[in-house]
Amino acid sequence: VWQRAYQQMSENLSAVAVKTWISCMQPLELNMQRALFLVPSNFQKEIIVSRYLDTIKNYLADTLGFPVEIEIETEEDRLEAEEAFSAPEAAQPAAPAANLTAQIDREYTFDNFIVGNANKFAHAASVAVANAPAAAYNPLFIYGGSGLGKTHLLYAIANEIKKKYPAFKVVYLRGEVFTNELIESIRNSTVVEFRNKYRFADVLLMDDIQFIGGKESTQEEFFHTFNTLHAEKKQIVLTSDRPPKEIQTLDDRLRTRFEWGLIADIQPPDLETRSAIIIRKAKTLGLDLPADVTDYIAGKLKNNIRQLEGAVKKISAYVALGERITVDLAATAIRDILSDQVPVSVLVERIVEDVARYYNLEPDDLRSKKRTAEVALARQVAMYIIREGTDLSLTDIGDVFGGRNHATVLYAIREVEGHLERDVRMKNMITDVMASLNA
């Protein structure tokens, strides 16, 4: 069926469109309701969904004689779903860790990590650890905002160690995966296996450790894993979106341990670094960006390297569709990137829900006229987060909460700023809500 529909499309659509976007779709499954496809990257999926979905649907419906929904999975997502990793050369079939499959992306290395003022400390520490595991800093704790290169550095450490110490068992996993696997193993009474899997590691790379904050049994388990590995002089590297002291409800014993070694932060890149990253990314995509376009992107996207890369990838996609590289095109690409993010209305809903849950209130309480101290405080906090996390105006924010005026909103924000100077719990809560928005 797909062959026939594909044939039809090749005859009727532009050759570039078919070749660039549609030919990469691999049909997986077809039934009366839906057609499932696999494509290599999330980016390809995005383009197909945003531009060709209806067309493909129509052609398929013509061929089939009835309409079906189209679903697309990506290899990228599948890879991400399988987290754990161990060096294949080091495989000792008997050891439990050996069944962790290789999932470290080999493309992320120190060679293609661009060093600037904002990340040079974290970079140097990572190199030191990779050169001499457990001899330099243990643990190494890297923290910084989303999209600033923490995972890249962890992968680079893994790849470098694999090269230098092929026998080492390198385990990479995310805090969330550790948590989920633990819960699963408790349910299946396989905690011992779970434990052994990680305690056999020579190098443990734990990404996004902040996820274990507030989860007691996970922290307990990680505490023991940490102690075992550390006592055996195995290297541990942790990343987080914030420093240990700001991870909410982190057990003090763990916090202390995280601070034993070296703590390195990554800040948003400066202009030079941003430009270097854009140029590098363009080069790998075979793209020659004029200087004004590079400057334009570097000037617009300042806080997230993932977005910088995304903009270059978008431009490359447009070029494949025959567009010329201009500042206007870059502006469109950036708009695409930013609009790919969750719509503001959804963000606002999430913020109101999260804050309400935190204060044990109903979201509607916040939107209502109620003025009890607790509702009023929660509402102010929600206003503050919406102001920080979206580009809504004060008036817009007032509208979210039953048409309050902008002076009220401004007052609320000032109030919260005042609280934040004294109230660490509130600060943590707000950081958590903000972080979950970017996730």
Binding test (CB under 6 A) with ligand ADP, winner from 254, 305, 382, 409:
305
Binding test (CB under 6 A) with ligand ADP, winner from 113, 168, 200, 226:
113
Tokens of 343: 């719509």
Minimum separation from the CB atom of position 79 to ligand ADP (A): 13
Q: Which residues face 186 on adjacent strands?
A: none
Nearer to ligand ADP, 25 or 305 (CB): 305
Tokens of 425: 């719990």
Minimum separation from the CB atom of position 236 to ligand ADP (A): 17
Collapse the DSSP code of 236 into the 3-class scheme (helix H, G, I; strand E, B; otherwise coil) and give the result.
strand
Q: Which does 309 bind (CB under 5 to 8 A by kind): Mg ion, ligand ADP, none?
A: ligand ADP
Interface with ligand ADP: number of residues (CB under 6 A)? 17
Q: Determine if 126 is a binding residue for Mg ion (CB under 5 A).
A: no
Binding test (CB under 6 A) with ligand ADP, winner from 37, 108, 226, 318:
108
Q: Determine if 306 is a binding residue for ligand ADP (CB under 6 A).
A: yes
Q: Which does 428 bind (CB under 5 to 8 A by kind): ligand ADP, Mg ion, none?
A: none
Q: Determine if 35 is a binding residue for ligand ADP (CB under 6 A).
A: no
Minimum separation from the CB atom of position 202 to ligand ADP (A): 23
Minimum separation from the CB atom of position 237 to Mg ion (A): 13
Q: Determine if 151 is a binding residue for Mg ion (CB under 5 A).
A: yes
Question: 150: annotated binding-site residue?
Answer: yes
Tokens of 37: 């496809």
Residue nearest ligand ADP, CB atom distance: 149
Residue nearest Mg ion, CB atom distance: 151
Nearer to ligand ADP, 119 or 294 (CB): 119
Strand 34-39 with 170-174, pairing: unpaired
What DSSP state is assigned to residue 246?
Answer: G
Contacts 24+ apart (CB under 8 A), 303-308: 303/145, 303/147, 303/268, 304/145, 304/146, 304/147, 304/148, 304/268, 305/147, 305/148, 305/149, 305/269, 305/274, 305/277, 306/146, 306/147, 307/147, 307/337, 307/338, 308/274, 308/277, 308/278, 308/281
Question: 164: annotated binding-site residue?
Answer: no
Nearest to 210 by CA among 184, 237, 176, 235: 176
Burial of residue 268 (CB within 10 Å: 0-12, 13-18, 19+) is middle
What DSSP state is assigned to residue 20?
Answer: I
Minimum separation from the CB atom of position 339 to ligand ADP (A): 19
Nearest to 255 by CA among 235, 234, 233, 240: 240
Burial of residue 439 (CB within 10 Å: 0-12, 13-18, 19+) is exposed
Binding mask 144-173 for ligand ADP (x = CB under 6 A): x-xxxxxxx---------------------
| Angle, CA 371 vertex, CA 370 and CA 376 arms, to 5° | 105
Q: Which does 225 bind (CB under 5 to 8 A by kind): ligand ADP, Mg ion, none?
A: none
Question: 300: annotated binding-site residue?
Answer: no
Minimum separation from the CB atom of position 319 to ligand ADP (A): 20
Q: Which does 275 bind (CB under 5 to 8 A by kind): ligand ADP, Mg ion, none?
A: none
Q: Determine if 119 is a binding residue for ligand ADP (CB under 6 A).
A: yes
Nearer to ligand ADP, 144 or 363 (CB): 144
Minimum separation from the CB atom of position 239 to Mg ion (A): 7
CB-side exposure of 193: number of CA atoms within 13 Å?
A: 14
Nearer to Mg ion, 20 or 146 (CB): 146
Distance between CA atoms of 131 and 108, rounded to whole angstroms?
A: 16
Distance between CA atoms of 407 and 168, rounded to whole angstroms?
A: 60
Give every CB contact of residue 155 below 8 A, 6+ residues apart in sequence.
104, 105, 108, 109, 172
Please give the sequence-ordered ranges of beta strands (E in DSSP) within 262-326, or none if there are none. Answer: 262-266
What does the binding site for ligand ADP look like in residue numbers (CB under 6 A)?
108, 112-114, 119, 144, 146-152, 277, 305-306, 309
Binding residues: 147, 149-151
What does the binding site for Mg ion look like in residue numbers (CB under 5 A)?
150-151
Binding residues for ATP: 147, 149-151
